[in-house]
Amino acid sequence: MLRWEKYLSLVEFSYNNSFQSSLRMAPYEALYGRKCRTPLYWTELKKNQIHGVDLIREAEEKVRIEFQVGDKVFLNVSPWKKVLRFGRKGKLSSRFIGPYEITERIGLVAYQLVLSSELEKIHDVFHVSMLHCYRSDPSHVITPTEVEIQPDMTYGEER
């Protein structure tokens, strides 16, 4: 004797997830706005979840930044909201200031810096995410050219 009620839930699941030409999608998609996640999808998800942990660990190892005592770094000041920096506020203000020398490593991700006198009221320990490596390169230094100004506050351009 065949017990059809035993298979009723499977038939319903199959019907709700099969393509309907009148809807141009499955009834489940029409009702919930997304495809149904079947048990087959769950096994794929579990595999991707295991693989995802490895990808995250690999990315963290690539990004690991370490500085040595005596290195020079720029300090990221862009997170400091509504602070007037160098006479400018907002987008036009500098994002990095410095360079400053590292005097001590504190813990795994914090460094103590020698700050200038105008920043003496700020705590001198910063997270590594706020520091940017300074590479000394004399070719990046632009020397300003002298402009001769006449007594009537005009100057002549060279052609």
Residues 113 and 130 in one domain: yes
Would residue 151 count as lying in a domain? no
Asked, for residue 22, whether it belongs to a domain, the answer is yes
Whether residue 116 lies inside any domain: the answer is yes
Q: Is residue 145 part of a domain?
A: no
Do both 51 and 15 map to the same domain? yes
**Does the residue 46 lie in any domain?**
yes
User: At which of 40, 63, 86 does a domain end?
Assistant: 63
Per-residue pLDDT of the chain (159 residues; tens, 9 = 90+): 678 888 888 889 889 989 999 999 999 999 999 888 877 777 777 777 777 788 888 777 766 678 999 999 988 876 566 554 555 566 666 678 888 999 999 998 899 999 888 788 888 999 998 898 888 776 655 555 565 666 776 656 665
Tell me whether residue 97 is in a domain.
yes
146, part of any domain:
no
Same domain, 45 and 77: no
Q: Do residue 59 and residue 111 come from a single domain?
A: no
- Identify the pLDDT of residue 64: 66
Same domain, 81 and 132: yes
Read off the pTM: 0.48
* Residue 94 and residue 51 share a domain: no
pLDDT at 103: 96
**Is residue 59 domain-shared with residue 14, that is, in the same domain?**
yes
Cα 13 to Cα 8, 23, 41, 136: the distances in Å are 9, 17, 15, 66
Same domain assignment for residues 80 and 50: no
How many folded domains does the chain comprise? 2
Range of the domain at 95: 72-137
* Per-residue pLDDT, 32: 92
